[in-house]
Structure 1
Amino acid sequence: MLSPAAARTIRETLPAVGAAIEDITPLFYKKLFTAHPELLRDLFNRGNQANGTQSQALAGSIAAFATALLEHPGTRPDAMLARIAHKHASLGIAPDQYEIVHRHLFAAIAEVLGEAVTAEVAEAWDEVYWLMANALIALERRLYAEAGADGGATWRPYRVVARHQETADVVTFLAAPADGAPVPAAKPGQYVSVRVQLPDGAGQIRQYSLSGQPDGALQFSVKRTVGTPSGEVSNHLHGHVTAGSQLELSAPFGDVTLAEGEGPVLLASAGIGCTPMIGMLAHLAATGSTREVIAVHGDRDQLSHAFRADLDQLVRKLPRARSHVWYERPAGEWPAGRTGLVDVTDLAVPPGTTAYLCGPLPFLRTVRTQLLTAGVRPAAIHYEVFGPDLWLGHTA
């Protein structure tokens, strides 16, 4: 994919660029938001910008893409690109925005690396950037077409028809299209973007997994984010959105979806990572699946476990399903073997299992390692992480 001359230059300069990229990306965002403050106000997650995770994710994706081009020159890293393309499609990213990013990213690279950025180096990294950008543009164009959102017109007005308090800090919303049109099709495990107008006028966007399959509505669940910075959108949804409220939602997107088939499935989650797994379980139950299903979940305690009753009910509906739950600090009587963090090493994982994971990065790393040890193929382990994907490009 890379030209021979560019490949040589990238191989020679990748260590230096990789070492400097965490200096490059903050400078890039500073230049970008100075020139286009509307992007920080209405597109980028201000919380992730404040804590630096967005910069880390960008750095990881660029380095991973360049590395993949060198290590596997005849293969495009479609798994990584699909993850980014789905996220971009849920935000309504347009092709002309790649030109804006290119301008400010390369200005930041030149400023940080100085004289090391010769014309040859600039041309080689320009080739890497546009290979990645053009691939993403093509993937996003296809995703928009499949969602009936040609040209990136993915946003639609919805009306909240119900609100359910799952736990003290988790709320589920059911939202129906405000125009009475049919609900867009969704695959188990996908998410929607929710755009809200905040008091300062910003139109901030967040992604929330679909946590069920109600007729005529999309169901998503939101955990209130506390700390510094606190969750602007989650706190707004918790504090101000009730039945009858209007919201803007994207079409459903997401590349981590339950594959059809008859083989065994393991669904592992921690905390609010249970939402896509409950969506997958609901689909399996609704379709009368006879697949072997292992549901694994870890949480702080019983009171913080969202969808606890739903998990029990859905597992009972599936003839070959079983669940295993761990609590770090359980309330009342609880088996010692299920106290603490999730540990799947003692579970009987059948051959041919496909695993889906969702939760914090330490949980994902631990459970993935345990599943690999148990004989699950790397290609059969799929993960979803909320927020910028700091693991991108680092899993087999």
Structure 2
Amino acid sequence: MLAQKTIEIIKSTAPVLEVKGTEITSLFYKRMFENHPELLNIFNHVNQKKGRQQTALANTVYAAAQNIDRLEALLPAVKQIAHKHRSLGIKPEQYPIVGEYLLKAIKEVLGDEATEEILEAWGAAYGVIAQVFIDVEEGMYQEAASQEAGWRDFKNFTVVKKEVESSLITSFYLQPEDGKMVPDFLPGQYITIRTAIPGEEYLFNRQYSLSSAPNKEYFRISVKREAEHSPEGKVSNYLHDSVSEGAVIEVSAPAGDFHLDVNDHSPVTLISGGVGITPMFSMLEALAKNTPSRPALFIHASRNEEVHAFKKNVAELMEVLDNGRAFFAYEKPVNAGTLCDHRGYIDTAVLDGLVDRDSIFYVCGPAPFMKAVISSLMSIGIPEDKICYEFFGPAMKFQLQEA
């Protein structure tokens, strides 16, 4: 428990963190990596370069400061981050390193404003918050390891099949190198792929949604090829160009709190943009296999028909569902004769005439797409607590009211 004086100091410094949080976290990462470069084997370098991780951490620290006297309010966010940490193999012994350089960054940015009293308060608060993460993550590690065919950190998997799904997306079928079956997971969850790329100093970690329903034989990820020389393209191009059938890669146990509620039988609407179709297809396939009577609407937006993955597969699953419907939108079809349900963006008018108001909604895709879709859903009267969504990359909140 924190002393009341410590709580008062933390809450009084929260406004400063709101203003200077990203400056502090940017300096924190810079100093920490200078002194502990081995941690670059864990962190996503792209998110670092684009400032996403710094912003996400700043938001987390600010939220912790605001809620330091009621940490239970942070548990949903803690669990979401803990899923990421568990899938990356974050260890308890790394938390003191983070604490040390976070306090040093606070001191360096705030200067004389960061008195010894303030730094001591933040040191105590960080210790409490870190322990919450450590405890939650240990529970997740134990759960991952204790389930049938489970494991704790990373495990070698063999690429047993590569399959082209569209002009940009290729699927990789992964089976355990030891010949054992794969563990169960919830439709919508992801795995982390850890790989060494020739010529690169550090390991790369990328999280990919599982794109098939749970089965005992394999995991499947479906990877979009990013622009060749973009930071995002480093791993995706390596997988597309250099990882062939028979290759061995390291894989984490499935993780993530964005998933289909398999015990709910109310109508469900799955809305995706681009490669955001991957967790949605896992959900749709699971519905067809386990609860085909559940009403399901599958809405997908693609730039054009050439980049649209799983179109035929979705149509086949619709034949299995008792009350299923697919709706495809193309921004700019390549061919004039291409058939689709809508040309242009999925906007408020489209959703207003399409969705069941009693549905549970799942949304995944690029951030601008999700912001537009979620704002449109809310504007037609869908309660926010009926809308589930997931970002690619660090968890970051957007201001829906600006849409």
Shift of 1:223: 0.9
Choose the corresponding residue for 2:126, options 129, 134, 146: 129
Choose the corresponding residue for 2:303, options 283, 289, 300: 300
- Of 272-281 and 160-169, more deviation after overlay is shown by 160-169
* Percent of matched pairs sharing the same residue: 38
Q: Quote the Cα distance in structure 1 between the aligned partners of 2:15 and 2:387.
A: 29
1:363 aligns with 2:362: no
1:379 aligns with 2:385: yes
Q: Quote the Cα distance in structure 2 between the aligned partners of 1:2 and 1:267.
A: 43
Shift of 1:2: 6.0
Q: Quote the Cα distance in structure 2 between the aligned partners of 1:149 and 1:33.
A: 33
**Partner in structure 1 of residue 268 of structure 2:** 265
1:341 aligns with 2:342: no
Q: Quote the Cα distance in structure 1 between the aligned partners of 2:126 and 2:345.
A: 40
SS in structure 1 opposite 2:73?
A: coil
Amino acid at match of 1:139: V
Q: What is the CA deviation profile of residues 141-190 of structure 1, one whole-angstrom value per residue up to 9, with x for unaligned ones?
A: 1111111179x832000111100011122110001000011211111000
Conservation of the 8 A alpha-carbon contact between 2:169 and 2:222: yes
Q: Quote the Cα distance in structure 1 between the aligned partners of 2:4 and 2:370.
A: 37
Q: What is the CA deviation profile of residues 230-289 of structure 1, one whole-angstrom value per residue up to 9, with x for unaligned ones?
A: 421111111111111111100000111111221111111111000000000010011143
The within-5 A match list for 1:1-396 is 3-40=3-40, 42-69=41-68, 73=70, 75-148=72-145, 153-199=152-198, 200-213=200-213, 215-226=216-227, 228-259=230-261, 260-331=263-334, 332-333=336-337, 338-343=342-347, 344-391=350-397
Give the RMSD, CA atoms, in angstroms.
2.4
Say how many residue pairs are matched.
392
The list of structure 1 runs, each at least 4 consecutive aligned residues, that deviate by more than 6 angstroms after superposition, is 392-395
Q: Quote the Cα distance in structure 1 between the aligned partners of 2:38 and 2:129.
A: 24
Return the TM-score normalized by structure 2: 0.91
Amino acid at match of 1:319: D
Structure 2: gaps (5+ residues): none
Amino acid at match of 1:239: D
Return the TM-score normalized by structure 1: 0.92
SS in structure 1 opposite 2:265?
A: coil
Q: What is the CA deviation profile of residues 58-110 of structure 1, one whole-angstrom value per residue up to 9, with x for unaligned ones?
A: 1122223333446xx37432221111000000001111111110111110110
Amino acid at match of 2:250: E
Amino acid at match of 1:26: S
Shift of 1:47: 1.7
Shift of 1:337: 7.3
Q: Quote the Cα distance in structure 2 between the aligned partners of 1:87 and 1:189.
A: 14
Structure 1: gaps (5+ residues): none
Are residues 174 and 85 of structure 1, via their aligned partners in 2, closer, same or farther at CA, if it must alter by over 3 Å?
same
Shift of 1:295: 1.2
